Structure 1
Amino acid sequence: MTIATSNQLPRDWAVIIFMAIIHIAAILAFLPSNFSWTAVGLAIFLHWLTGGIGITLGWHRLVSHRSFQTPKWLEYVLVFCGTLAMQGGPIWWVGLHRHHHLYSDQDVDHHDSCKGFWWSHMGWMLYDVPAEQEIPRFTKDIAGDPVYQFLDKYFLQIQVAFAALLFLIGGLPFLFWGVFVRLVLVYHTTWLVNSATHKFGYRTFESNDRSTNCWWVALLAYGEGWHNNHHAHQYSARHGMKWWEIDMTWMMIQLLQRLGLAQKVKLVEESAGQQ
Protein backbone atom coordinates (compact mmCIF):
# COMPACT_ATOMS: atom_id res chain seq x y z
CA MET A 1 0.00 0.00 0.00
CA THR A 2 1.37 3.45 -0.97
CA ILE A 3 0.01 6.95 -0.76
CA ALA A 4 -0.04 9.69 -3.31
CA THR A 5 2.44 12.55 -3.20
CA SER A 6 1.28 15.96 -1.97
CA ASN A 7 0.95 17.07 -5.60
CA GLN A 8 -1.62 14.33 -6.14
CA LEU A 9 -3.56 14.72 -2.90
CA PRO A 10 -6.59 17.07 -2.75
CA ARG A 11 -6.02 20.15 -0.63
CA ASP A 12 -8.13 20.57 2.49
CA TRP A 13 -9.11 24.21 2.04
CA ALA A 14 -11.06 24.34 5.28
CA VAL A 15 -7.91 23.50 7.24
CA ILE A 16 -5.74 25.83 5.13
CA ILE A 17 -8.06 28.81 5.72
CA PHE A 18 -8.48 27.96 9.41
CA MET A 19 -4.71 27.77 10.00
CA ALA A 20 -4.17 31.05 8.16
CA ILE A 21 -6.78 32.81 10.31
CA ILE A 22 -5.40 31.42 13.57
CA HIS A 23 -1.81 32.43 12.76
CA ILE A 24 -2.77 35.92 11.56
CA ALA A 25 -4.89 36.48 14.67
CA ALA A 26 -1.96 35.39 16.84
CA ILE A 27 0.19 38.12 15.26
CA LEU A 28 -2.54 40.70 15.93
CA ALA A 29 -2.33 39.78 19.63
CA PHE A 30 0.80 41.95 19.85
CA LEU A 31 -1.12 45.13 19.04
CA PRO A 32 -1.27 47.37 22.15
CA SER A 33 -5.06 47.09 22.33
CA ASN A 34 -4.86 43.30 22.44
CA PHE A 35 -1.94 42.94 24.88
CA SER A 36 -1.69 42.57 28.63
CA TRP A 37 0.72 40.65 30.83
CA THR A 38 -2.20 38.97 32.57
CA ALA A 39 -3.29 37.64 29.17
CA VAL A 40 0.24 36.35 28.53
CA GLY A 41 0.09 34.48 31.84
CA LEU A 42 -3.28 33.08 30.84
CA ALA A 43 -1.84 31.82 27.55
CA ILE A 44 1.00 30.06 29.38
CA PHE A 45 -1.40 28.43 31.84
CA LEU A 46 -3.76 27.31 29.07
CA HIS A 47 -0.79 25.98 27.08
CA TRP A 48 -0.09 23.65 29.98
CA LEU A 49 -3.76 22.82 30.61
CA THR A 50 -4.66 22.04 26.99
CA GLY A 51 -1.32 20.93 25.57
CA GLY A 52 0.28 19.33 28.61
CA ILE A 53 -2.68 18.00 30.59
CA GLY A 54 -5.06 17.56 27.65
CA ILE A 55 -3.00 16.38 24.69
CA THR A 56 0.15 14.92 26.24
CA LEU A 57 -1.22 13.38 29.43
CA GLY A 58 -4.78 12.70 28.27
CA TRP A 59 -4.98 12.06 24.53
CA HIS A 60 -1.49 10.65 24.15
CA ARG A 61 -0.29 8.65 27.14
CA LEU A 62 -3.68 7.78 28.64
CA VAL A 63 -5.96 7.20 25.66
CA SER A 64 -3.73 6.52 22.64
CA HIS A 65 -1.36 4.15 24.44
CA ARG A 66 -3.23 3.24 27.63
CA SER A 67 0.02 3.69 29.55
CA PHE A 68 -2.01 3.98 32.75
CA GLN A 69 -5.62 3.97 33.88
CA THR A 70 -7.72 6.56 35.67
CA PRO A 71 -11.31 6.71 36.91
CA LYS A 72 -13.60 7.30 33.95
CA TRP A 73 -14.65 10.75 35.16
CA LEU A 74 -11.01 11.86 35.22
CA GLU A 75 -10.39 10.38 31.77
CA TYR A 76 -13.27 12.46 30.43
CA VAL A 77 -11.88 15.61 32.11
CA LEU A 78 -8.46 15.04 30.53
CA VAL A 79 -9.99 14.33 27.13
CA PHE A 80 -12.07 17.52 27.39
CA CYS A 81 -8.91 19.53 28.13
CA GLY A 82 -7.37 18.02 25.00
CA THR A 83 -10.43 19.03 23.00
CA LEU A 84 -9.70 22.66 23.93
CA ALA A 85 -6.36 22.34 22.08
CA MET A 86 -8.33 22.30 18.80
CA GLN A 87 -6.27 19.52 17.20
CA GLY A 88 -9.35 17.83 15.80
CA GLY A 89 -11.66 15.52 17.70
CA PRO A 90 -10.23 12.93 20.11
CA ILE A 91 -11.35 9.93 18.02
CA TRP A 92 -9.73 11.42 14.91
CA TRP A 93 -6.52 12.30 16.76
CA VAL A 94 -6.13 8.98 18.56
CA GLY A 95 -6.84 7.02 15.39
CA LEU A 96 -4.21 8.87 13.39
CA HIS A 97 -1.68 8.63 16.20
CA ARG A 98 -2.06 4.87 16.48
CA HIS A 99 -1.80 4.63 12.70
CA HIS A 100 1.45 6.62 12.87
CA HIS A 101 3.00 4.20 15.35
CA LEU A 102 2.16 1.19 13.20
CA TYR A 103 3.60 2.75 10.03
CA SER A 104 6.10 5.27 11.41
CA ASP A 105 8.26 6.83 8.66
CA GLN A 106 6.85 4.52 6.03
CA ASP A 107 5.13 5.80 2.89
CA VAL A 108 1.64 5.34 4.38
CA ASP A 109 2.52 7.31 7.53
CA HIS A 110 0.55 10.54 7.16
CA HIS A 111 3.43 12.65 8.55
CA ASP A 112 6.28 10.50 7.25
CA SER A 113 9.49 12.40 8.11
CA CYS A 114 11.17 10.98 5.02
CA LYS A 115 9.09 13.47 3.03
CA GLY A 116 10.83 16.41 4.68
CA PHE A 117 10.62 18.63 7.74
CA TRP A 118 7.77 20.82 6.46
CA TRP A 119 5.60 17.83 5.53
CA SER A 120 6.01 16.08 8.89
CA HIS A 121 5.64 19.34 10.81
CA MET A 122 2.36 20.58 9.36
CA GLY A 123 2.25 20.19 5.58
CA TRP A 124 0.38 16.89 5.73
CA MET A 125 -2.58 18.51 7.49
CA LEU A 126 -3.27 20.76 4.52
CA TYR A 127 -4.28 17.74 2.42
CA ASP A 128 -6.81 14.93 2.63
CA VAL A 129 -4.46 12.11 3.61
CA PRO A 130 -5.57 8.49 3.03
CA ALA A 131 -4.72 7.54 6.63
CA GLU A 132 -7.94 9.23 7.77
CA GLN A 133 -9.92 6.45 6.12
CA GLU A 134 -8.40 3.95 8.56
CA ILE A 135 -9.37 5.76 11.75
CA PRO A 136 -12.29 3.38 12.55
CA ARG A 137 -9.84 0.46 12.47
CA PHE A 138 -7.74 2.01 15.24
CA THR A 139 -10.43 3.46 17.51
CA LYS A 140 -12.81 0.60 18.24
CA ASP A 141 -12.24 1.02 21.99
CA ILE A 142 -13.47 4.64 22.09
CA ALA A 143 -15.57 5.18 18.95
CA GLY A 144 -18.78 3.98 20.63
CA ASP A 145 -18.39 6.13 23.75
CA PRO A 146 -21.01 8.95 23.67
CA VAL A 147 -18.67 11.40 25.44
CA TYR A 148 -15.93 10.85 22.87
CA GLN A 149 -18.51 11.09 20.08
CA PHE A 150 -19.80 14.42 21.42
CA LEU A 151 -16.32 15.92 21.81
CA ASP A 152 -15.27 14.62 18.40
CA LYS A 153 -18.31 16.16 16.71
CA TYR A 154 -18.46 19.51 18.50
CA PHE A 155 -14.81 20.39 19.25
CA LEU A 156 -15.06 23.56 17.12
CA GLN A 157 -18.25 24.75 18.81
CA ILE A 158 -16.69 24.06 22.22
CA GLN A 159 -13.74 26.27 21.28
CA VAL A 160 -16.06 29.07 20.14
CA ALA A 161 -17.91 28.91 23.46
CA PHE A 162 -14.59 28.92 25.34
CA ALA A 163 -13.43 31.95 23.32
CA ALA A 164 -16.66 33.78 24.16
CA LEU A 165 -16.15 33.02 27.86
CA LEU A 166 -12.59 34.37 27.80
CA PHE A 167 -13.77 37.51 26.01
CA LEU A 168 -16.45 38.11 28.62
CA ILE A 169 -13.90 37.70 31.41
CA GLY A 170 -10.95 39.65 30.01
CA GLY A 171 -11.90 41.34 26.74
CA LEU A 172 -9.77 41.27 23.61
CA PRO A 173 -6.45 40.49 25.37
CA PHE A 174 -7.88 37.30 26.89
CA LEU A 175 -9.44 36.37 23.54
CA PHE A 176 -6.32 36.89 21.45
CA TRP A 177 -3.81 35.43 23.92
CA GLY A 178 -6.01 32.78 25.54
CA VAL A 179 -7.19 31.44 22.18
CA PHE A 180 -5.12 32.44 19.15
CA VAL A 181 -1.60 32.74 20.59
CA ARG A 182 -2.14 29.75 22.81
CA LEU A 183 -3.42 27.60 19.93
CA VAL A 184 -0.46 28.51 17.71
CA LEU A 185 2.02 27.70 20.47
CA VAL A 186 0.34 24.40 21.31
CA TYR A 187 0.11 23.48 17.62
CA HIS A 188 3.78 24.00 16.92
CA THR A 189 4.80 22.32 20.16
CA THR A 190 2.86 19.22 19.14
CA TRP A 191 4.08 19.39 15.53
CA LEU A 192 7.72 19.54 16.64
CA VAL A 193 7.26 16.04 18.04
CA ASN A 194 6.30 14.89 14.53
CA SER A 195 9.10 16.78 12.78
CA ALA A 196 12.08 17.74 14.97
CA THR A 197 12.15 14.47 16.92
CA HIS A 198 12.45 12.55 13.68
CA LYS A 199 15.42 14.70 12.58
CA PHE A 200 17.43 16.15 15.50
CA GLY A 201 18.90 14.47 18.57
CA TYR A 202 20.22 11.05 19.51
CA ARG A 203 18.93 7.51 19.42
CA THR A 204 19.08 5.22 22.45
CA PHE A 205 17.07 2.35 20.95
CA GLU A 206 16.64 0.76 17.55
CA SER A 207 13.00 1.51 16.76
CA ASN A 208 12.81 0.74 13.02
CA ASP A 209 12.06 4.39 12.19
CA ARG A 210 13.80 7.77 12.36
CA SER A 211 12.63 8.81 15.84
CA THR A 212 15.15 10.66 18.02
CA ASN A 213 15.49 11.99 21.55
CA CYS A 214 15.61 15.80 21.39
CA TRP A 215 16.12 17.61 24.69
CA TRP A 216 14.73 21.00 23.68
CA VAL A 217 11.53 19.48 22.29
CA ALA A 218 11.21 17.53 25.55
CA LEU A 219 11.33 20.80 27.50
CA LEU A 220 8.77 22.48 25.24
CA ALA A 221 6.44 19.48 24.98
CA TYR A 222 6.30 18.26 28.59
CA GLY A 223 8.58 15.25 28.00
CA GLU A 224 7.36 14.24 24.54
CA GLY A 225 10.75 15.02 23.01
CA TRP A 226 12.20 11.72 24.26
CA HIS A 227 10.60 10.33 21.16
CA ASN A 228 13.00 7.51 20.35
CA ASN A 229 12.43 6.12 23.84
CA HIS A 230 8.71 6.36 23.19
CA HIS A 231 8.76 4.68 19.80
CA ALA A 232 10.87 1.84 21.18
CA HIS A 233 8.55 1.40 24.19
CA GLN A 234 5.30 3.06 23.13
CA TYR A 235 3.22 1.74 26.04
CA SER A 236 5.55 3.10 28.72
CA ALA A 237 4.06 5.93 30.80
CA ARG A 238 7.58 7.27 31.28
CA HIS A 239 9.38 8.66 28.21
CA GLY A 240 12.44 10.18 29.86
CA MET A 241 14.15 6.96 30.87
CA LYS A 242 17.49 8.29 32.05
CA TRP A 243 17.77 10.44 35.17
CA TRP A 244 18.58 13.57 33.18
CA GLU A 245 15.82 13.09 30.60
CA ILE A 246 13.30 15.44 32.23
CA ASP A 247 9.73 14.28 31.65
CA MET A 248 7.12 16.60 33.14
CA THR A 249 4.22 14.40 32.03
CA TRP A 250 5.71 11.45 33.88
CA MET A 251 5.88 13.66 36.98
CA MET A 252 2.17 14.40 36.56
CA ILE A 253 1.43 10.67 36.29
CA GLN A 254 3.44 10.07 39.47
CA LEU A 255 1.38 12.74 41.23
CA LEU A 256 -1.83 11.06 40.10
CA GLN A 257 -0.45 7.77 41.47
CA ARG A 258 0.18 9.34 44.87
CA LEU A 259 -3.37 10.70 44.86
CA GLY A 260 -4.76 7.26 44.00
CA LEU A 261 -6.00 8.48 40.61
CA ALA A 262 -3.61 6.52 38.35
CA GLN A 263 -3.44 2.75 38.37
CA LYS A 264 -1.82 0.02 36.26
CA VAL A 265 1.01 2.32 35.21
CA LYS A 266 3.10 0.63 32.53
CA LEU A 267 6.90 0.96 32.56
CA VAL A 268 9.81 -0.71 30.79
CA GLU A 269 12.41 -2.67 32.69
CA GLU A 270 14.88 -0.46 34.55
CA SER A 271 17.77 -2.00 32.62
CA ALA A 272 16.25 -0.91 29.31
CA GLY A 273 16.37 2.72 30.32
CA GLN A 274 20.07 2.47 31.12
CA GLN A 275 21.17 1.19 27.71
Structure 2
Amino acid sequence: MPIQSTAPKHKSTLTLDWISVAFFAAVHGLALLAPWFFSWSALGVMIFLHWLFGSIGICLGYHRLLTHRSFQVPKWLEYIITTIGTLSLQGGPIFWVAGHRLHHAHTEDFDKDPYSAKRGFWWSHCLWLIYPQDEFFNYETYRRFAPDLDRDPYYRWLNRNFLLLQIPLGLLLYALGGWSFVIYGMFLRSVLLWHSTWLINSATHLRGYRNFQLDDGSRNLWWAAILTYGEGWHNNHHAHPNVAKAGLRWWEIDVTWWAIKTLKTLGLAKKVVMPVN
Protein backbone atom coordinates (compact mmCIF):
# COMPACT_ATOMS: atom_id res chain seq x y z
CA MET A 1 0.00 0.00 0.00
CA PRO A 2 1.50 3.39 -0.91
CA ILE A 3 2.48 5.71 1.90
CA GLN A 4 -0.04 8.49 2.27
CA SER A 5 0.29 11.90 3.87
CA THR A 6 -2.55 14.02 5.15
CA ALA A 7 -0.36 17.12 5.00
CA PRO A 8 -1.75 20.00 2.92
CA LYS A 9 0.15 20.78 -0.25
CA HIS A 10 2.97 23.30 0.24
CA LYS A 11 2.18 24.15 3.83
CA SER A 12 3.30 27.67 4.63
CA THR A 13 2.64 27.79 8.38
CA LEU A 14 5.54 26.52 10.45
CA THR A 15 5.94 26.92 14.20
CA LEU A 16 9.34 27.27 15.80
CA ASP A 17 9.86 24.84 18.68
CA TRP A 18 11.74 26.87 21.28
CA ILE A 19 12.48 23.80 23.39
CA SER A 20 14.33 22.25 20.44
CA VAL A 21 16.11 25.54 19.78
CA ALA A 22 17.25 25.72 23.41
CA PHE A 23 18.38 22.09 23.39
CA PHE A 24 20.47 22.36 20.21
CA ALA A 25 21.85 25.74 21.28
CA ALA A 26 22.87 24.38 24.69
CA VAL A 27 24.68 21.36 23.24
CA HIS A 28 26.48 23.54 20.67
CA GLY A 29 27.39 26.01 23.41
CA LEU A 30 28.83 23.32 25.66
CA ALA A 31 30.80 21.92 22.71
CA LEU A 32 32.48 25.33 22.38
CA LEU A 33 34.09 24.72 25.79
CA ALA A 34 36.28 22.04 24.20
CA PRO A 35 39.49 24.16 23.92
CA TRP A 36 39.50 24.70 27.70
CA PHE A 37 39.12 20.97 28.41
CA PHE A 38 41.49 19.59 25.81
CA SER A 39 43.49 16.43 26.33
CA TRP A 40 44.72 13.92 23.81
CA SER A 41 42.84 11.14 25.55
CA ALA A 42 39.59 13.16 25.40
CA LEU A 43 40.14 13.77 21.69
CA GLY A 44 40.67 10.04 21.24
CA VAL A 45 37.43 9.29 23.08
CA MET A 46 35.57 11.77 20.86
CA ILE A 47 36.94 10.21 17.65
CA PHE A 48 36.17 6.68 18.86
CA LEU A 49 32.60 7.53 19.87
CA HIS A 50 32.02 9.46 16.63
CA TRP A 51 32.87 6.24 14.78
CA LEU A 52 31.04 3.90 17.19
CA PHE A 53 27.81 5.90 17.38
CA GLY A 54 28.02 7.21 13.82
CA SER A 55 29.27 4.35 11.67
CA ILE A 56 28.08 1.40 13.76
CA GLY A 57 25.04 2.92 15.49
CA ILE A 58 23.57 5.18 12.79
CA CYS A 59 25.00 4.14 9.40
CA LEU A 60 25.12 0.39 9.96
CA GLY A 61 22.38 0.09 12.58
CA TYR A 62 19.62 2.64 12.12
CA HIS A 63 20.18 3.02 8.38
CA ARG A 64 21.32 -0.11 6.58
CA LEU A 65 20.07 -2.68 9.09
CA LEU A 66 16.80 -1.29 10.46
CA THR A 67 15.58 1.06 7.73
CA HIS A 68 16.51 -0.93 4.62
CA ARG A 69 17.09 -4.44 6.01
CA SER A 70 20.07 -4.82 3.69
CA PHE A 71 21.41 -7.62 5.90
CA GLN A 72 20.41 -9.61 8.97
CA VAL A 73 22.13 -10.24 12.28
CA PRO A 74 21.04 -12.25 15.34
CA LYS A 75 18.41 -10.42 17.38
CA TRP A 76 20.71 -9.98 20.37
CA LEU A 77 23.27 -8.25 18.16
CA GLU A 78 20.60 -6.14 16.46
CA TYR A 79 19.53 -4.92 19.91
CA ILE A 80 23.12 -4.01 20.83
CA ILE A 81 23.71 -2.15 17.56
CA THR A 82 20.40 -0.30 17.85
CA THR A 83 21.18 0.71 21.43
CA ILE A 84 24.50 2.12 20.19
CA GLY A 85 22.54 4.11 17.59
CA THR A 86 20.24 5.42 20.29
CA LEU A 87 23.26 6.76 22.20
CA SER A 88 24.11 8.96 19.19
CA LEU A 89 21.42 11.43 20.31
CA GLN A 90 19.65 11.44 16.95
CA GLY A 91 16.27 10.27 18.17
CA GLY A 92 14.78 6.88 18.89
CA PRO A 93 14.91 4.06 16.33
CA ILE A 94 11.23 4.19 15.36
CA PHE A 95 11.39 7.96 14.79
CA TRP A 96 14.63 7.77 12.79
CA VAL A 97 13.62 4.80 10.63
CA ALA A 98 10.14 6.14 9.91
CA GLY A 99 11.53 9.49 8.79
CA HIS A 100 14.12 7.94 6.53
CA ARG A 101 11.64 5.57 4.94
CA LEU A 102 9.45 8.58 4.17
CA HIS A 103 12.49 10.31 2.66
CA HIS A 104 12.96 7.42 0.24
CA ALA A 105 9.27 7.00 -0.50
CA HIS A 106 8.83 10.71 -1.34
CA THR A 107 12.36 11.94 -2.06
CA GLU A 108 12.47 15.76 -2.27
CA ASP A 109 8.68 16.11 -2.21
CA PHE A 110 8.06 19.51 -0.69
CA ASP A 111 5.62 18.23 1.94
CA LYS A 112 6.01 14.47 2.24
CA ASP A 113 9.80 14.27 2.59
CA PRO A 114 10.64 15.30 6.19
CA TYR A 115 13.92 16.94 5.11
CA SER A 116 13.15 17.81 1.51
CA ALA A 117 16.05 19.46 -0.33
CA LYS A 118 13.47 21.41 -2.34
CA ARG A 119 13.01 23.60 0.76
CA GLY A 120 16.67 24.64 0.65
CA PHE A 121 19.98 23.64 2.19
CA TRP A 122 19.30 24.82 5.73
CA TRP A 123 15.87 23.22 5.88
CA SER A 124 17.20 19.79 4.91
CA HIS A 125 20.29 20.26 7.08
CA CYS A 126 18.70 21.20 10.39
CA LEU A 127 15.69 23.55 10.25
CA TRP A 128 13.29 20.63 9.88
CA LEU A 129 14.26 19.69 13.45
CA ILE A 130 13.35 23.03 15.01
CA TYR A 131 10.20 23.53 12.93
CA PRO A 132 8.79 20.07 13.65
CA GLN A 133 5.79 18.99 11.62
CA ASP A 134 3.29 16.82 13.43
CA GLU A 135 3.16 14.06 10.82
CA PHE A 136 6.91 13.46 11.22
CA PHE A 137 7.31 14.04 14.98
CA ASN A 138 4.08 12.72 16.50
CA TYR A 139 4.63 9.11 17.54
CA GLU A 140 1.05 8.07 16.84
CA THR A 141 1.53 9.26 13.25
CA TYR A 142 5.08 8.28 12.32
CA ARG A 143 4.89 4.82 13.93
CA ARG A 144 2.83 3.70 10.92
CA PHE A 145 5.91 3.94 8.73
CA ALA A 146 8.01 1.62 10.91
CA PRO A 147 5.47 -1.01 12.03
CA ASP A 148 8.12 -3.75 12.16
CA LEU A 149 10.00 -1.82 14.85
CA ASP A 150 6.89 -0.57 16.61
CA ARG A 151 5.83 -4.15 17.31
CA ASP A 152 8.98 -4.68 19.38
CA PRO A 153 8.65 -3.62 23.06
CA TYR A 154 12.39 -2.94 23.36
CA TYR A 155 12.40 -0.58 20.39
CA ARG A 156 9.36 1.23 21.77
CA TRP A 157 11.25 1.63 25.07
CA LEU A 158 14.34 2.97 23.31
CA ASN A 159 12.18 5.35 21.29
CA ARG A 160 10.71 6.82 24.50
CA ASN A 161 13.91 6.91 26.55
CA PHE A 162 16.74 7.76 24.17
CA LEU A 163 17.42 11.01 26.04
CA LEU A 164 17.63 9.26 29.41
CA LEU A 165 20.34 6.95 28.08
CA GLN A 166 22.64 9.97 27.89
CA ILE A 167 22.75 10.01 31.71
CA PRO A 168 24.61 6.71 32.21
CA LEU A 169 26.82 7.59 29.24
CA GLY A 170 27.73 10.92 30.83
CA LEU A 171 28.38 9.30 34.22
CA LEU A 172 30.63 6.68 32.63
CA LEU A 173 32.63 9.32 30.75
CA TYR A 174 32.99 11.42 33.89
CA ALA A 175 34.20 8.39 35.86
CA LEU A 176 36.78 7.58 33.18
CA GLY A 177 38.15 11.06 32.52
CA GLY A 178 36.25 13.83 34.28
CA TRP A 179 34.74 16.85 32.55
CA SER A 180 37.22 16.62 29.69
CA PHE A 181 35.76 13.28 28.61
CA VAL A 182 32.20 14.58 29.07
CA ILE A 183 32.75 17.69 26.95
CA TYR A 184 34.52 15.79 24.17
CA GLY A 185 32.67 12.47 24.38
CA MET A 186 29.16 13.88 24.69
CA PHE A 187 28.84 17.47 23.53
CA LEU A 188 31.56 17.95 20.92
CA ARG A 189 30.96 14.44 19.58
CA SER A 190 27.21 15.08 19.35
CA VAL A 191 27.64 18.33 17.43
CA LEU A 192 30.17 16.90 14.97
CA LEU A 193 28.11 13.75 14.43
CA TRP A 194 24.89 15.75 13.98
CA HIS A 195 26.36 17.91 11.26
CA SER A 196 28.07 14.94 9.61
CA THR A 197 24.76 13.10 9.41
CA TRP A 198 22.79 16.18 8.37
CA LEU A 199 25.15 16.75 5.43
CA ILE A 200 23.67 13.64 3.82
CA ASN A 201 20.24 15.27 3.88
CA SER A 202 21.54 18.61 2.62
CA ALA A 203 24.88 18.68 0.80
CA THR A 204 24.55 15.34 -1.03
CA HIS A 205 21.30 16.52 -2.62
CA LEU A 206 23.06 19.61 -3.99
CA ARG A 207 26.70 18.82 -4.86
CA GLY A 208 28.64 15.90 -6.32
CA TYR A 209 28.51 13.50 -9.23
CA ARG A 210 26.02 10.88 -10.33
CA ASN A 211 26.62 7.26 -11.24
CA PHE A 212 22.88 6.84 -11.83
CA GLN A 213 20.43 9.17 -13.52
CA LEU A 214 17.52 9.34 -11.10
CA ASP A 215 14.46 11.57 -10.76
CA ASP A 216 15.80 13.01 -7.51
CA GLY A 217 18.83 15.24 -6.89
CA SER A 218 20.94 12.75 -4.92
CA ARG A 219 24.69 13.02 -5.54
CA ASN A 220 27.90 11.24 -4.58
CA LEU A 221 30.06 13.61 -2.54
CA TRP A 222 33.50 12.30 -1.62
CA TRP A 223 34.20 14.47 1.41
CA ALA A 224 30.74 13.78 2.85
CA ALA A 225 31.45 10.07 2.42
CA ILE A 226 34.64 10.43 4.45
CA LEU A 227 32.83 12.29 7.24
CA THR A 228 29.97 9.78 7.34
CA TYR A 229 31.80 6.48 6.91
CA GLY A 230 30.45 5.86 3.40
CA GLU A 231 26.99 7.43 3.49
CA GLY A 232 28.08 10.23 1.17
CA TRP A 233 27.82 7.94 -1.85
CA HIS A 234 24.21 9.02 -1.77
CA ASN A 235 23.35 8.71 -5.46
CA ASN A 236 24.46 5.08 -5.34
CA HIS A 237 22.29 4.57 -2.28
CA HIS A 238 19.18 6.15 -3.78
CA ALA A 239 19.61 4.00 -6.89
CA HIS A 240 19.88 0.83 -4.79
CA PRO A 241 18.59 1.63 -1.28
CA ASN A 242 18.44 -1.98 -0.07
CA VAL A 243 22.05 -2.77 -1.01
CA ALA A 244 24.37 -3.08 1.99
CA LYS A 245 27.33 -1.50 0.17
CA ALA A 246 27.13 2.23 -0.62
CA GLY A 247 30.52 2.65 -2.30
CA LEU A 248 30.26 0.87 -5.66
CA ARG A 249 33.39 1.98 -7.52
CA TRP A 250 36.77 0.75 -6.29
CA TRP A 251 37.77 4.17 -4.98
CA GLU A 252 34.44 4.94 -3.26
CA ILE A 253 35.58 4.19 0.29
CA ASP A 254 32.80 2.84 2.49
CA VAL A 255 34.00 2.30 6.05
CA THR A 256 30.58 1.09 7.23
CA TRP A 257 30.64 -1.62 4.57
CA TRP A 258 33.95 -2.83 6.02
CA ALA A 259 32.16 -3.40 9.34
CA ILE A 260 29.31 -5.28 7.64
CA LYS A 261 31.83 -7.38 5.72
CA THR A 262 33.60 -8.20 8.99
CA LEU A 263 30.32 -9.33 10.54
CA LYS A 264 29.68 -11.46 7.45
CA THR A 265 33.13 -13.04 7.71
CA LEU A 266 32.44 -13.86 11.36
CA GLY A 267 29.16 -15.48 10.39
CA LEU A 268 27.11 -12.83 12.19
CA ALA A 269 25.69 -11.04 9.12
CA LYS A 270 23.42 -13.07 6.86
CA LYS A 271 21.41 -12.37 3.73
CA VAL A 272 23.65 -9.42 2.83
CA VAL A 273 22.16 -7.66 -0.20
CA MET A 274 24.86 -6.99 -2.76
CA PRO A 275 24.81 -4.86 -5.93
CA VAL A 276 23.87 -6.67 -9.12
CA ASN A 277 26.54 -6.32 -11.79
TM-score category, normalised to shorter length: over 0.9
* 2:32 alignment counterpart: 27
> Structure 1 residue aligned with 2:185, among 175, 178, 186?
178
* 1:82 alignment counterpart: 85
Q: CA deviation at 1:268?
A: 2.2
Q: What's the CA shift string for 1:22-67, capped at 9, x where partnerless?
A: 0000001211xx2211000000000001011000000000000000
> Structure 2 residue aligned with 1:126, among 127, 130, 141?
130
Structure 1 vs Structure 2 CA RMSD:
1.1
1:189 counterpart = 2:192: no
* 1:113 alignment counterpart: 117
After TM superposition, the runs of 4+ consecutive aligned structure 1 residues lying more than 4 A away are: none
Q: CA deviation at 1:206?
A: 2.2
Seen in structure 2, the aligned counterparts of structure 1 residues 232 and 131 have a Cα distance that, compared at 3 Å, is farther
Counterparts of 1:46-65 in structure 2, within 5 Å, are 46-65=49-68
Q: CA deviation at 1:3?
A: 4.3
- Give the Cα separation in 1 of the matches to 2:156 and 2:254: 31
Q: CA deviation at 1:207?
A: 2.4
Contact 1:3–1:130 at 8 Å: present in 2 too? no
* 1:16 alignment counterpart: 21
- Give the Cα separation in 2 of the matches to 1:250 and 1:171: 34
Counterparts of 1:132-151 in structure 2, within 5 Å, are 132=136, 133=138, 134-151=141-158
1:71 counterpart = 2:74: yes
- Give the Cα separation in 1 of the matches to 2:257 and 2:172: 31
Q: CA deviation at 1:204?
A: 1.2
> Structure 1 residue aligned with 2:265, among 250, 258, 263?
258
Q: CA deviation at 1:72?
A: 0.3
Q: What's the CA shift string for 1:167-192, capped at 9, x where partnerless?
A: 12211100100100000011001000
Unmatched 5+ residue regions in structure 2?
A: 1-7
Q: CA deviation at 1:9?
A: 1.2
TM-score where L is the length of structure 2? 0.94
Matched length:
266
Unmatched 5+ residue regions in structure 1?
A: 271-275
> Structure 1 residue aligned with 2:100, among 97, 100, 104?
97
- Aligned to 1:261, what secondary structure does the other structure show? coil
Contact 1:136–1:143 at 8 Å: present in 2 too? yes
- Aligned to 2:32, what secondary structure does the other structure show? helix
- Give the Cα separation in 2 of the matches to 1:96 and 1:114: 16
> Structure 2 residue aligned with 1:220, among 207, 227, 231?
227
TM-score where L is the length of structure 1? 0.94
- The one-letter code matched in structure 2 to 1:244 is W
